[in-house]
Structure 1
Amino acid sequence: MSLSPTPFSPAFLHGTKADLKIGDLIEVGYASNFLKETTLSWVYFTSTLDAAIWGAELAAGEGRERVYLVEATDPYEDDPNLTDKKFQGNPTRSYRSRKPLKVIAEVLHWQGHSPEQIQNMRQGLERLRQLGSDVIID
């Protein structure tokens, strides 16, 4: 099901280590934050602050962890990487689009996960890599 932005669309967030400015576009064709060797044909975003924080904390790179408020510029759909196969429905309210996301603002004050939680998540992702299950449905 493809969804389109409306005047009453939910707020969307994108977690990353990229240093972006208001008005910048997050576009397809860049390396994944999670699989460096993979160039993605979708941009990914969420409606939950927790999922965006995980995106920032787990993103590749050396930059500061950032969470941006973004606007979908065209239709979007549920992210199949986190829906149906892993979680029935879309409890993480995760989405993707082939069209750019426009940076509206940076969320400056947020509480990250504990070092233990991040380490556990990284270990889980490493286990998936070792099993060859770290595939992004792109």
Structure 2
Amino acid sequence: MENKKDEKILDKGPFYHGTKADLKIGDLLSAGFNSNYRSEVIMNHIYFTALENGAGLAAALAEGHGHDRIYIVEPTGIFENDPNVTDKKFPGNPTRSFRSTEPLKIMGELKDWIRLSDEELQNWKEGIAKLRENPDAEIIN
């Protein structure tokens, strides 16, 4: 795979997407839905990671009433490092976080992963609430 700058992406996966949505193998995840971090923002990209725990965090923070789920996904097109974490917080992409304007194909579901404790989840939710309260906080979309 190549990113948008025609640089080789070194990470070959496997890749994961965390959500509360109930999906099936072969389904496609696409951009164009509300952000889990700023519900008024429609996302131009679909996000994914090569870290199970990163996808687990995304699932725990996702909007909705379903169960936390981690899907094994395959990008259907080009993708790039997620600038929300790699450029702002973790240069070099140690979080192995990516985004694409092209859909992700569901290849399977990961059933067993290390879940956040109630305290860890509460800390993350409080951080997200602070982000929502700050109109100057930017999500790179």
TM-score by length of 1: 0.90
Q: Give me the whole-angstrom Cα distance separating, in 1, the residues matched to 2:65 and 2:137.
A: 22
User: Is residue 2:32 matched to residue 1:29?
Assistant: yes
1:124 counterpart (123, 127, 133): 127
Unaligned runs of 5+ in 1: none
Structure 1 position 31, deviation (Å): 1.7
| 2:57 alignment partner, SS class | helix
Q: Tell me the equivalent position of 1:87.
A: 90
Asked if the contact 1:125–1:134 (Cα under 8 Å) also holds between the matched residues in 2, the reply is no
Q: Tell me the equivalent position of 2:58.
A: 55
Asked if the contact 2:16–2:70 (Cα under 8 Å) also holds between the matched residues in 1, the reply is yes
Q: Residue type of the partner of 1:119?
A: Q
Asked if the contact 1:16–1:33 (Cα under 8 Å) also holds between the matched residues in 2, the reply is no
Report the identity percentage.
45
Asked if the contact 1:4–1:74 (Cα under 8 Å) also holds between the matched residues in 2, the reply is no
Q: Residue type of the partner of 2:89?
A: K
Structure 1 position 9, deviation (Å): 2.3
CA RMSD, aligned part only? 1.9
Q: Tell me the equivalent position of 2:116.
A: 113
| 2:106 alignment partner, SS class | strand
Asked if the contact 2:53–2:113 (Cα under 8 Å) also holds between the matched residues in 1, the reply is no
| 2:99 alignment partner, SS class | strand
1:74 counterpart (74, 77, 87): 77
Q: Tell me the equivalent position of 2:13.
A: 10
Q: Give me the whole-angstrom Cα distance separating, in 1, the residues matched to 2:69 and 2:138.
A: 24
Deviates more, 1:123-132 or 1:109-118: 123-132
Q: Tell me the equivalent position of 2:138.
A: 135
| 2:65 alignment partner, SS class | coil
Q: Give me the whole-angstrom Cα distance separating, in 1, the residues matched to 2:52 and 2:78.
A: 21
Q: Give me the whole-angstrom Cα distance separating, in 2, the residues matched to 1:120 and 1:85.
A: 20
> Deviations for 1:47-80, whole angstroms, at most 9, x for unmatched residues?
0011100000000111111000000011100000
Unaligned runs of 5+ in 2: none
Q: Give me the whole-angstrom Cα distance separating, in 2, the residues matched to 1:4 and 1:68.
A: 24
| 1:57 alignment partner, SS class | helix
Q: Residue type of the partner of 1:46?
A: T
Q: How many correspondences in the alignment?
A: 137
